[in-house]
């Protein structure tokens, strides 16, 4: 009797978690990246997100690694 209730509950929980993670890590990231790139294109900016962040920190005089720039580009979306 307990299995009749528990199995569908576990299946729906797993499907829900997988759906949320897919949305959050794939779809949301794609939409944000597309939005930023379309805004750059709209204002005729010929630089990538990576180049803009790298140039900003170079102008400030702060050294920054490529890994950190990639993390910041993802964070700023």
For the chain, the farthest-separated pair of C-alpha atoms sits apart, in whole angstroms, at: 67
At residue 26, φ and ψ (nearest 5 deg) are -115, -60
Q: What predicted TM-score, i.e. pTM, was given to this entire model?
A: 0.70
29-42 average pLDDT score:
93
pLDDT higher than threshold 90 for residue 7: yes
Mean pLDDT value across the chain: 92
pLDDT tens, position by position, 41-72: 999 999 999 999 999 999 999 999 999 999 99
User: Where in the chain are the domains?
Assistant: 1-43, 47-77
């Amino acid at each position: 009797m307990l299995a009749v209730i528990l199995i569908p509950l576990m299946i729906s929980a797993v499907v829900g978690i997988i759906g949320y993670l897919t949305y959050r890590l794939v779809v949301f990231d794609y939409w944000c990246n597309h939005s930023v790139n379309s805004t750059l294109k709209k204002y005729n900016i010929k630089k990538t997100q990576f180049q803009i962040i790298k140039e900003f920190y170079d102008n400030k005089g702060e050294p920054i690694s490529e890994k950190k720039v990639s993390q910041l580009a993802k964070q700023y979306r």
